[in-house]
Structure 1
Amino acid sequence: MTVQSAMILAAGLGTRMRPITETLPKPLVEVAGKPLIAYSLEALDRAGIGRVVVNVHHLAPLLIDWLARRAGAEILISDETEALLDSGGGVVKALPLLGSGPLILLNADTFWIEDHASGRDNLAEMVDRFDPESMDMLLMTARLDQATGHTGGGDFTPDSEGRLTRYRGTGDGVIYAGALVLHPRIFAGISEPKFSLNRCFDAAAAAGRLFGYAMRGHWLTVGTPEAIGEAEAAIAAYRGEHAGGESEAAP
C-alpha cells in the first residue's frame, strides 16, 4: 500500500486555549520546545509523505508564514478563512490538492511519543495495514491508560478482527487518537460543504469498513493552557522510563 499525500486539520479556533490563542494560532502553541503542528509534520516526514495539505482559518497568516519557512515535504494551504467547514468538509475542500488515492489525516493538536523499541513508527504500520479492498477508514486508537490530556471515555470498541463500532459504555473502549488513513470514496454522496468526520465514521462502521490500529507509545492531546504542562511532564516521564532508545516525540 502506498500513500503519497496527507492533510493536517489546523483550522480550529482554539477557544479553550485562550488567552494564548488570542495572538497565536493553536497549531503554533509550543509543547516541549516545538509547535504542536511540528510533531505532525515530523511524523509525516518519517513516513516519507511528499505532499502535505494544511487547512487554515484563525490567524492564518501567522501559520502560513511558519509553514513557508519549514524545510521538508511540499506544504499546500487549503484556505478556510471565509468559513470553517468542520473536519469532514475541510478534507473535501482540500481533495483537489490531495489526489484521488488513500491519504493520511492528522489532527494538529494531538501527537504521540513513539515506542522505538517496537522497531517501526505507527504511521508506517498504518499505511501497510490499510487495505482499500476491505477498509474505508483505518483509525489510530489508544487505550485510556496510554493517554494524557483526554478527559472523556472511550470512543470505539474493536472486535477480534479490528473492526470498530461506537463505544456504548460496556467493555474496554479505545480513544480515536487523531490520526487515520482513509479512502476518499467515503465522501461520495455528501453534498453539504460543512460536516463532521463523525458522519463518515458512522457510515464506515455501518458498512463494516471502519477499522482500528492500536498505537504503540504514548498519546497526548493538548486542549487548554494547563494541558501544556501536563503534556510536557508526560513526555519527560515517558522518556525517562524508556531511556536508552531514541525518544523523540512524534505524532
Structure 2
Amino acid sequence: MRPDTAVILCAGLGERMRPLSDSTPKPLLNLAGQPILAHTMARLRDAGVRKVIVNAFHLAEQIEAFFDRYEGVIVRREESLLETGGALAAMAAEALLPDAPFYILNGDSYWVDGPSAALPRLAAAFDPRREDAMLLLARSAGTIAETRFGDFVWDREAGLRRREEREVAPYLYSGIQIATTALLHSDKVERFSMNRLWDEALAAGRLNAIVHDGVWLHMTTPEDILRAEELLAAREVGNST
C-alpha cells in the first residue's frame, strides 16, 4: 500500500542561500517557474498522498500562506527551532503521524524522476518489518549539491554505512525518505537532528536505502539555483512536473 501521508520539513533558516532567503523561505524560492514546494506537492499528489504535515519557523507566515491553497495540509509553527529529528518527535507527540509508513521530505529538494517515479519506487522497496526507514540516495557525481565528501557508503555485502572521516562517499542523502514511527525511539521532544535517528537505526540494522534513478538538484546557494535553471532551460535534465 502506498503512503497517504507525508512530512515536509520547512523550518530551516537557509543561511547559505542568503540574501535570497532573507525575504523568502528557501522552499518557496522559484525554480522552473514555480516555488520548489509547488513541485514537491505535485509529486506527492501524483503519488497518492492526501495528508501533509509541515513544520515552519523562518518566515513561517509565508509557508502558511503558500499552503492555504491546498487541502489536507497541517502547518505546525515552531516557537523555537527543533531541527529535523525534533520536528518529527513533536509531530508524533501531537499524534499527527500515522501508524502506517509515511514519506519525509526536505522542503528544499527538487528531483526529476527516472524511468520509475521516485516516491512509489521508494514505497515499493520499503519493508517496515525489517526497516524503520529507507533513504533515497543520489549519486554524488554530477549532482548540484555540496558533494565534496558525500554522506553514505553502500557496500552491497556489508550494507549501508556512514562515510568515515576524510573518506569520500559515493552517495548523498537526497532529502527524501520513507519511515514509520518506529524510527523514533523516544517520545521526548527536544532539539536534535535526524542523524541521531539514522545512527540508532543503523546500529540496529534497520536503516536501508535505494539509489535514485533520475536526477536530483539540491539548492544550497544562489549559484546552485542559477545552475539548476540553466540545466532545466537547456533541457539537459527536463522538468517532469
With structure 2 as the length reference, what TM-score do the two structures score? 0.91
Q: Is the 8 A contact 1:167 1:173 kept in 2?
A: no
C-alpha contact (below 8 Å) 2:232/2:239 kept by paired residues: no
- Match of residue 155, structure 2, among 156, 159, 180: 159
| Structure 2 match to 1:188 | 185
Question: After alignment, is 137-146 or 169-178 more displaced?
Answer: 169-178
* Aligned residue runs from structure 1 range 167-186, under 5 A: 167-168=163-164, 173-186=170-183
SS at match of 2:141: helix
Deviation sequence 1:7-37 (CA, Å, 0-9, x none): 0000111122222222211111111211111
1:192-203 alignment runs, 5 A limit: 192-203=189-200
Are the aligned partners of 2:137 and 2:172 in contact in 1 as well (CA < 8 Å)? yes
Residues 60 and 160 of structure 1: is their aligned pair in 2 closer, same or farther, counting only changes over 3 Å?
same
Gap regions ≥5 residues in structure 1 = 242-246
Residue matched to 1:244:
none
C-alpha change, 1:98 and 1:121, in structure 2 (3 Å) is same
Confirm or deny: 8 A CA contact 2:90 2:189 kept in the other structure. no
Q: 1:40 to 1:131 in 2, by over 3 A?
A: same
Distance in 2 of aligned mates of 1:171 and 1:15: 25
Deviation at 1:2, TM superposition (A): 3.3
Counterpart CA distance in 1 for 2:26 and 2:45 is: 21
**CA RMSD between the two structures:** 1.9
| Equivalent residue for 1:132, pick from 125, 128, 133 | 128
SS in 1 for 2:74: strand
Counterpart position of 1:78: 76
Distance in 2 of aligned mates of 1:179 and 1:16 = 20
Q: Does 1:114 align with 2:110?
A: no
Aligned length: 238
Q: Is the 8 A contact 2:150 2:168 kept in 1?
A: no
Letter in 2 for 1:130: F
Give the number of the structure whose residues are more often helix, by fraction: 1
Structure 1's 100 and 149: CA in aligned 2 closer, same or farther, altered over 3 A? same
How far 1:123 sits from its partner (Å)?
Answer: 0.7
